[in-house]
Structure 1
């Protein structure tokens, strides 16, 4: 979402609900900084009401004439980026999960993707890059939260790229980002570099924290007043937390997070999960018959650095897909969607089995199974 300035306030504050893991240690620098063309100029124009995505956004509560368009995204008030591909949206429910939570979008980063690489593009300048590092350090300093941000120096390694808006945003928008999809972070934060130069360190840092918060699934604390659609509150938080880092107006706070911010991040991202496949049976014979059985587990870690094993401190729903590939006599693929609930209190959980069966005989069809975790979310 974009950051908005309120000229009636004595200070400009940007709100953000963003909690990350307790790790503060920097990771090794990865490769050389990628060169960027900083002379680029983006353009925006009023989006056509006939576009299917724009029509969907109107159904979700946005006012007609409020949606703008660039070559890459739709821009929605106050500071959100939306994909221009209608296939990226869940059309089975017109309210869509992006409007169902008060302090998160309903679309969250999966708990098995808690390590998030961030690339600071040269277009934001050295000063904002340093502010971005400070933002990551604040987020990584929140204990009991699994998010773990790592600065990388190669754009190809990035999950999120932070770059200039290249002149698109008006003066009252400090930054803009979008929400996750398919359990993966939104991959872009744009900053109004020229306008941010008018403010001090805290505003600049908190703006970046705010936009990173959107990338992992957090929405504005004051969603209702912004006309952003119905929502369900995260227990222990309130819509009236005016100092929240996820408030739509940036807050000039030395400590960016309120107690409500911390509660929200710890509830949404309690632990990091990592899948472990353990072989149980390898059965091969001289005729060429093959049977392989693997058990699939998930291990629990304090955060996305995956360095410290931990006990799950909140129940978690895991949605996964059992992909089946046929080969030999026939070929094709299909899958089964399945769900499991992990009950808090353990550090390792059995998920399911993967099998591979194959026979060399004519007319036999071989099958191979593979488990893919699609989304793992905390039970609020």
Structure 2
């Protein structure tokens, strides 16, 4: 079903919302879908093969057969979601639905030590959508007590997220698409239906971009069950009936955030963490080396890392100690560990890194490096 925007009705009814996207018409002929050439690039889509392991997984998680499309880079799923083609990017242990209100993807949020997110605005979206993208970034950065901090960059190689045109792939009822984080990092692409968005006002364009950036950091549709999405986790204090939510499957043209949206952003991203390694022991004795470094995380209000703050929610830190062996033997292995940071401090000890080495024949040197895999708010 396609929605037609009526400007006069919009003026009279400020609460009117339009679909960002809805399910594809599965009877639609692919050869009738136009493609658009922008900056010498053409994107195309085709119906995905049922045999692909990611497609099979999406079917198991509730999508109907015949609704998954494919491009060179992603799978496209209704209503506005992009999925990686690499099966290794998915949590294959997730099963079943959890009764939720407003929700985010299970285990798929941006790590709290990656709250500074660089955004590149591709020329393919045009000047106006670049302006609205900046406005969207400013709205998100304006949420107080939320650690997310988006920064526009002008070099694509510096970006964690690129906002670009759909290059004519999407039908009129899809205004934009994005996907969910993996390995604690934001999803790297937002695609916008540039031609269709030109039909709407500035607030609709801005709010569409906010919605898609919300997906990139881990927010699900508030009405995810109606869209046949699965494996979501409750954000306490939000409402399943919040039709004005920026993450509803439709988008409004007014103020972007409801009270429930603000609760969700603040709960998921309460503070920004930054790792600090402090040397504790340096011992050098006749060529033998023994070094111990303490690893801490410091707490900041957001990903600008300018203002120190007290952690205001308990946080779970999943981390890995990578071990490199060299000299007499060689190889790598790692230990996975977890630590809970209890709210109330601005600095937390995580673990030690050690380096130990002897030059004598038959000895093995080891070097440890601590890597935070995911730091997430405990809801």
Structure 1 length normalisation: TM-score?
0.90
In structure 1, the residue matched to 2:367 is 368
Residue 108 of structure 1 aligns to a residue in which SS? coil
Q: Is the 8 A contact 1:59 1:94 kept in 2?
A: no
Q: Deviations over 1:52-73 (max 9, x none)?
A: 1110000000011110111111
In structure 2, the residue matched to 1:247 is 248
Quote the Cα distance in structure 1 between the aligned partners of 2:100 and 2:54: 18
Quote the Cα distance in structure 1 between the aligned partners of 2:111 and 2:100: 17
Q: Is the 8 A contact 1:180 1:186 kept in 2?
A: yes
Summarize the alignment of residues 28-67 of structure 1 with structure 2, pairs less than 5 Å apart. 38-67=39-68
Q: Please list every run of 5 or more consecutive structure 2 residues that lacks an aligned counterpart in the other structure.
A: 10-15, 21-36
Quote the Cα distance in structure 1 between the aligned partners of 2:302 and 2:2: 33
Summarize the alignment of residues 201-350 of structure 1 with structure 2, pairs less than 5 Å apart. 201-229=202-230, 231-253=232-254, 255-285=255-285, 287-350=286-349
Quote the Cα distance in structure 1 between the aligned partners of 2:97 and 2:292: 38
Quote the Cα distance in structure 1 between the aligned partners of 2:63 and 2:211: 21
Quote the Cα distance in structure 2 between the aligned partners of 1:298 and 1:289: 30
Q: Is the 8 A contact 1:6 1:249 kept in 2?
A: no
Q: Please list every run of 5 or more consecutive structure 1 residues that lacks an aligned counterpart in the other structure.
A: 16-35
Residue 170 of structure 2 aligns to a residue in which SS? coil
Quote the Cα distance in structure 2 between the aligned partners of 1:110 and 1:100: 22
Q: Deviations over 1:208-231 (max 9, x none)?
A: 000000000001011111121253
In structure 2, the residue matched to 1:125 is 126
Q: 1:191 aligned to 2:192?
A: yes
Q: Is the 8 A contact 1:102 1:231 kept in 2?
A: no
Q: Is the 8 A contact 1:162 1:190 kept in 2?
A: yes
The number of residues matched between the two structures is 354
Quote the Cα distance in structure 2 between the aligned partners of 1:377 and 1:312: 12
Q: Give the superposition deviation at 1:233.
A: 2.3
Quote the Cα distance in structure 2 between the aligned partners of 1:38 and 1:51: 31
Q: 1:37 to 1:194 in 2, by over 3 A?
A: closer
Higher relative contact order, structure no. (Cα contacts within 8 Å, ≥ 6 residues apart): 1
Q: Is the 8 A contact 2:101 2:222 kept in 1?
A: no
Q: Give the superposition deviation at 1:8.
A: 8.5
Residue 278 of structure 1 aligns to a residue in which SS? strand
Q: Which moved more, 1:217-226 or 1:198-207?
A: 217-226
Q: Is the 8 A contact 1:144 1:271 kept in 2?
A: yes
In structure 1, the residue matched to 2:358 is 359
In structure 2, the residue matched to 1:19 is none
Q: Deviations over 1:149-186 (max 9, x none)?
A: 00000101000000000000000000000000000000
Q: Deviations over 1:292-327 (max 9, x none)?
A: 010000000000000000000000000000111101
Q: 1:233 to 1:301 in 2, by over 3 A?
A: same
Q: 1:230 to 1:332 in 2, by over 3 A?
A: closer
In structure 1, the residue matched to 2:24 is none
Quote the Cα distance in structure 2 between the aligned partners of 1:259 and 1:93: 29
Quote the Cα distance in structure 1 between the aligned partners of 2:97 and 2:277: 34
Name the Cα RMSD after superposition. Answer: 2.0
Q: 1:144 aligned to 2:138?
A: no
Q: Is the 8 A contact 1:293 1:354 kept in 2?
A: yes
Q: Give the superposition deviation at 1:102.
A: 4.2
Q: Is the 8 A contact 1:46 1:69 kept in 2?
A: yes
Quote the Cα distance in structure 1 between the aligned partners of 2:314 and 2:242: 26
Residue 306 of structure 2 aligns to a residue in which SS? coil
In structure 2, the residue matched to 1:200 is 201
Q: Give the superposition deviation at 1:92.
A: 3.4
Quote the Cα distance in structure 2 between the aligned partners of 1:328 and 1:146: 43
Quote the Cα distance in structure 1 between the aligned partners of 2:303 and 2:311: 14
Q: Give the superposition deviation at 1:141.
A: 0.5
Q: Give the superposition deviation at 1:239.
A: 1.1
Residue 104 of structure 1 aligns to a residue in which SS? strand
Residue 90 of structure 1 aligns to a residue in which SS? coil
Q: Is the 8 A contact 1:81 1:177 kept in 2?
A: yes
